[in-house]
Amino acid sequence: MSRRMPRPASKQQHSAALWIIAVVVLILLGCASIVAFNTITSLVGFFTDGGETPASPAVSWEMDSAELTIAVSPVMAPVLSDLAESFNAQSLRAPDGKSLKVSVVPYDPEAMVQTAMQIPPFQAISPDSALWLDRLEQLWAERTAEDADQDRVMPIGQRRISVQTRYAVSPIVLAAWEDVARRLGWPDKPVSWQDVQQRATQDPDFKWSHANTKHASGLLAVLAEFYAGAGLTRGLTVEAATDPATLEYVKAVEGTVRFYGENEDRVVEQLKDEGRNFLDLFVAQERIVLDWNRQNPNERLIALYPAEGTLWTDHPLALLELGQSEGEPAVTKNQQRTYQAFSEFLTGVDAQQRLLAAGYRPADLSIALDGSDSPFANNNAVDWREPQTTLQMPSPEVVDVVRDYWYYTKRPTNVYLVVDTSGSMEGSKLLAAQSALKAFLEQIAGDRDRVGIVEFGSGLKDYSLLATLDYGTRQQLNGMIDRMEAAGGTALIDAVYAAVATLQREEQPDAINAVVVMTDGLENESGYDLYDLQALVRQNPSLPIVIFTIGFGDDADEETLSAMARIGGGQFRRAGEADIEELYRIISTYF
């Protein structure tokens, strides 16, 4: 599975070494047996619901506390924080004199659900979609059944949510630059998923994306694609979703996605940094389009409402039913009062108008969207009369099936993990990197994805061939990670060059081809330079290779890593020992 390689001393020697690797690859691939697909039930979803639940830190609050802590989706967090400040400024008090207070903490939806399954440091949650509430209740019901099977003396209750309120909504749209929208047919005709797929197929430079299904906009977009493939607008069933014709339709659309990734806020950050070179079109909540255009009036985005229909983010606020597990404090009477008061505040006229001003559609349907003070008024970038067709939210069972089958319809991935194990990685840094690499492998769920590893120091120290991530490959790659040793200099560019060259020789344009490179130091040993790498990447424009770079610690070569990311149309991120594992998990969502 792995081989030792000497440090290259020149470009000519590099080329020779790369051709040797190519020959070995071809021989081994020719001898390799085809691994059968795993069954659907063996897929490991991004909703982590298997294995041991990690122990929760000690959580407690006073028995008469009136402070309500709310875990909220990152997209809504700034708006809800402002509203919480206004609520707190009212200085409302409980009958015992305690001040009713709300505090807001951002959580990604998946982390929110997993934390709520343990002993959470919050009493309420506000994800961007009720999908996550359904998921929480589903997992909680499974735990309740386990308790019943184990005949516990004090089994936990059957519900994790006691009450919920919806305070804002936003439809899922296709956000496109204005000239791109016009080429797709806007404003003369509705734009369909098939229009996007055809444009991406005809134009290799066209780049579009939706978030991974760990995020509401991504999962809702995929559900809409399954609806479109089934030719339905309501009542999507398991049978309709898994019909071969439906799966082929979704596979055709998903096959044109440039890459997946995080929520819309992260896309907006990239747009600010890279402009329209980053993406031509992406899936987002409608509110993102309004907010972008408010800040960038000369480079507008247009909200395209899919012709086949779309789903909505509904931004619920839910109070948890706590105190059911050993050591878990219950929600106090005063916290319940705070929840009720804050719910009434959010659905009141003033807060609803402020949510509208922020780009959300208010839950109060009596508020006119085309009023003079509405961001929708006299604004052709959005259309308050759309969407003409609202898709019905499927049952949790169908959502689970769609999420699982997505791994067979999404674009497959070939990704090389390029890892610095130079001498400066000695000790805790290497241990943290090893844990991060294993975390990345754990997150790659589909058995159509292939992963390889390039380890480098003064030269290419060890490498593995791209291989489908079945059980045996995972074991081999984990063994390679365990054997890593810190020694030598930093031949960063040489290592990335080798990975890119191998991906080009594989020549799989239907896959997402990517390199994820991590280093903690300065480039000091390579025979190639950045111009060589750029020339290699541009050598085959029909085979784009995305490069993600990670600067591990303060001494990492940020200039070189940023340049690499630009060459590969990817991203540069910085990480420390405490967060590198989480960063690798995040990057895995792009595939």
Question: How many domains does the structure of the chain reveal?
Answer: 3
Evaluated on CA atoms 90, 93, 97, 101, the torsion sign reads negative
Contact (Cβ atoms closer than 8 angstroms) between residue 218 and residue 282: no
Q: How is the beta sheet containing 316-320 ordered, strand by strand?
A: 101-106, 67-72, 124-126, 316-320, 161-166
Contact (Cβ atoms closer than 8 angstroms) between residue 484 and residue 448: no
User: Phi/psi of residue 72, each to 5°?
Assistant: -130, 150
Residues 270 and 397 in one domain: yes
Q: Look up the CATH number of the domain holding residue 525.
A: 3.40.50.410
Residues 447 and 506 in one domain: yes
Residues 270 and 228 in one domain: yes
Residues 75 and 135 in one domain: yes
Residue 514 lies in a domain: yes
Q: How many CA atoms lie within 13 A of 161 on its CB side?
A: 20
Contact (Cβ atoms closer than 8 angstroms) between residue 497 and residue 527: no
Write down the residue that tokens 């380890």 correspond to: 455
Residues 355 and 417 in one domain: no
pLDDT, tens only, 500-546: 999 999 999 999 999 999 999 999 999 999 999 999 999 998 899 99
Is 60 exceeded by the pLDDT of residue 1?
no
Residue 51 lies in a domain: no
Token couple for 293: 């255009």
Predicted pLDDT of residue 8: 39
578-590 average pLDDT score: 90
Is 70 exceeded by the pLDDT of residue 37?
no
Taking the C-alpha atoms of residue 402 and residue 35, their distance in angstroms, rounded to an integer, is 24
Angle at 172 between CA 171 and CA 174, to 5 degrees: 130
Residue 357 lies in a domain: yes
Residues 13 and 79 in one domain: no
| Beta pairing, strands 101-106 & 67-72 | parallel
Residues 292 and 198 in one domain: yes
- Per-residue DSSP letters for 243-292? -HHHHHHHHHHHTT-SB--S-HHHHHHHHHHHGGGS-SEEEEEHHHHHHH
Predicted pLDDT of residue 157: 66
Residues 115 and 155 in one domain: yes
Q: What's the pTM?
A: 0.84
* Domain span at 97: 67-166+315-362
Residue 47 lies in a domain: no
Is 90 exceeded by the pLDDT of residue 291?
yes
Is 50 exceeded by the pLDDT of residue 39?
no
Contact (Cβ atoms closer than 8 angstroms) between residue 541 and residue 502: no
Give the residue from 101, 98, 97 showing the smallest Cα distance to 88.
Answer: 101
Residue 43 lies in a domain: no
Output Rg (C-alpha) for the chain, integer angstroms.
Answer: 25
pLDDT, tens only, 314-364: 999 999 999 988 889 999 999 999 999 999 999 999 999 999 999 999 999
Residue 120 lies in a domain: yes
Predicted pLDDT of residue 18: 41
Predicted pLDDT of residue 57: 53
Query: What is the number of other CB atoms lying within 10 angstroms of the CB of residue 371?
Result: 12
Q: Look up the CATH number of the domain holding residue 260.
A: 3.40.190.10
Residues 581 and 469 in one domain: yes
446 pLDDT band (50/70/90 cuts)? low
